[in-house]
């Protein structure tokens, strides 16, 4: 199944996040608004009940219906301890007690005893209020009515109950209600606004996210198109466009160009390697073929020594090319421990027929981690190079330098010009006629030695020898360092 584009996923993701945030915020706002308006209604009902209860202390029982708190349109009612209605506002006139929750938590018979005790002691009646929500029938104006012809619906009221006393000392309970219609209307208005505004806002968020993402990803599309063109044309000299901004896309473009440059260099090195290898292989093969063809026609003219020499040279070149191929493929050296001093003694013992004598200077004991075969190949290449360019002798030494071991091979020849000391480690490089194919190898020995040193975590460099000539130094981390 094909996945949606980044722009679509970003737009949908942003829209979903905003939708969840707005829904959560909406619930919080509505809940806070409902709670605040309900608290306001309860406070209004309690204030109305307390105001009426305060006025009752100054009027006789017969004058309760004339109290100011009973002349409004809000539901207010005064009830004595026996449940008799002593006074009520217009909406509740002629009705029985609207509630009895003010004493709902007192055991039967406790009310009258408590009133008598309170009256005998002269204490004031507890005026703490209680509240609950009650539903009353209302007319078109939202006012409480029990006239069947005027009732158009019902509405919730916050009903508060406050205890008080008349001037005669009769305990009474004052019930007062405040409409919750304003709360319900405000909550409904806010809810409708959110329901209508939410889709519009989500469309705006989704559209803006789509446009912003599209603009942000435009350079990425340019990079993709250029990479597609490079793939189709196989022209590694081309580069992707780099945006002026210093953002992730610009860094991606720069990294892509760096990768293309590295790839171009690798391909170029590979082409040059193949061309040089073909050239180097062509000469010994052609020479060997010529000698074999001559031998086939004139057996008495066969140059056995020349044929063997060409075969050995061809075999050595093939071995070098195979080792370079393995190194380029990322072959890792072994984890064995190799004694460089022992490696030097072994190599020197096998070179009794070299044209120049080998002198061993200092041989510090120590081991390095890696492949004994590959490190022996490095030492052999350095000794071959020294023998090729020495005037009188070649010197070998192994020294411990801190946490590393340094193997040095010095000759007393002409040395390597300072400007060429990096270049001689490139493949198939021969600096002059003294480093020609007739004098030695194909220019792979030092390149192989440098690659092996790098893969063993070390370095190979060339300096000038103290007595003249070249001094090649292989430094490797000691196994016990």
Q: Which residue has the higher pLDDT, 308 or 103?
A: 308
* pLDDT single digits (tens) 246-275: 778 888 888 888 888 888 887 887 777 777
Contact 396, 378 (CB under 8 A): no
pLDDT band with cut points at 50, 70 and 90 for residue 107:
very low
Contact 63, 89 (CB under 8 A): no
Task: List the Cα angle 376/380/470 in 5-degree steps.
Answer: 125
* CATH architecture of the domain covering 337-477: 2-Layer Sandwich (3.30)
Delimit the domains of the chain by residue range. 1-233, 248-328, 337-477
Q: What is the pLDDT of residue 399?
A: 92
* pLDDT single digits (tens) 73-87: 788 888 888 888 888
- Yes or no: is domain 248-328 CATH 3.40.50.10790? no
How far apart, in whole angstroms, are the C-alpha atoms of residue 462 and residue 473?
Answer: 6
How far apart, in whole angstroms, are the C-alpha atoms of residue 176 and residue 159?
Answer: 6
Does residue 476 surpass a pLDDT of 90? yes
Mean pLDDT over 90-119 rounds to 56
Percent of the chain with pLDDT over 70: 89
Mean pLDDT taken over the chain: 80
pLDDT band with cut points at 50, 70 and 90 for residue 215:
confident
Q: Which of 39-53, 98-112, 303-317 is predicted most confidently?
A: 39-53
Tokens read off for 299? 């057996």
* Count of C-beta atoms within a 10 Å radius of residue 333: 19
Does residue 386 surpass a pLDDT of 50? yes
């Amino acid at each position: 199944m094909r996945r949606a584009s980044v722009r679509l996923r970003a737009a949908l993701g942003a829209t979903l996040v905003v939708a969840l945030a707005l829904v959560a915020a909406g619930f919080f706002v509505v809940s806070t608004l409902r709670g605040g308006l309900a608290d306001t209604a309860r406070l209004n009902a309690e204030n109305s009940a307390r105001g009426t209860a305060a006025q009752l202390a100054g009027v006789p029982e017969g004058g309760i219906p004339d109290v100011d708190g009973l002349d409004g349109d809000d539901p207010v009612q005064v009830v004595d301890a026996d449940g008799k209605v002593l006074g009520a506002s217009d909406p509740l006139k002629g009705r029985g007690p609207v509630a009895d929750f003010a004493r709902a938590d007192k055991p039967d018979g406790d009310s009258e005893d408590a009133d008598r005790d309170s009256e005998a002691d002269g204490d004031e009646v507890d005026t703490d209020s209680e509240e609950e929500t009650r539903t009353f029938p209302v007319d078109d104006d939202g006012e409480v009515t029990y006239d069947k012809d005027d009732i158009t619906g019902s509405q919730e009221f916050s009903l508060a109950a406050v205890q008080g006393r008349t001037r005669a000392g009769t305990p009474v309970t004052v019930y007062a209600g405040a409409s919750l219609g304003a709360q319900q209307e405000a909550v409904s208005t806010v809810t409708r606004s959110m329901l209508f505004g939410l889709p519009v806002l989500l469309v705006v968020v989704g559209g803006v996210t789509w446009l912003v993402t599209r603009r942000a990803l435009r350079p990425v599309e340019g990079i993709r198109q250029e990479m597609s063109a490079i793939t189709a044309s196989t022209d590694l000299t081309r580069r992707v466009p780099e945006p002026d901004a210093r953002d992730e896309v610009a860094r991606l473009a720069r990294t892509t160009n760096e990768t293309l440059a590295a790839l171009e260099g690798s391909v170029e090195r590979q082409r040059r390697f193949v061309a040089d290898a073909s050239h180097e292989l062509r000469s010994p093969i052609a020479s060997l073929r010529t000698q074999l063809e001559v031998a086939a026609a004139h057996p008495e003219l066969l140059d056995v020594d020349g044929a063997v020499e060409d075969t050995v040279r061809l075999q050595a070149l093939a071995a070098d090319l195979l080792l370079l191929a393995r190194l380029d493929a990322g072959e890792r050296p072994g984890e064995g421990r190799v004694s460089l001093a022992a490696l030097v003694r072994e190599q020197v013992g096998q070179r009794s027929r070299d044209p120049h004598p080998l002198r061993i200077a200092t041989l510090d004991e120590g081991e390095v981690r890696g492949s004994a075969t590959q490190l022996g190949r490095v030492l052999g290449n350095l000794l071959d190079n020294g023998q090729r360019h020495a005037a009188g002798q070649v010197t070998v030494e192994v020294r411990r330098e801190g946490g590393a071991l340094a193997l040095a091979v010095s000759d007393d020849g002409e040395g390597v010009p300072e400007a060429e000391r990096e270049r001689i480690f490139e493949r198939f490089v021969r600096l002059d006629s003294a480093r020609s194919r007739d004098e030695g190898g194909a220019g792979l020995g030092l390149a192989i030695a440098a690659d092996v040193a790098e893969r063993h975590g070390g370095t190979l460099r060339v300096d000038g020898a103290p007595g003249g000539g070249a001094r090649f130094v292989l430094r490797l981390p000691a196994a016990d360092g």
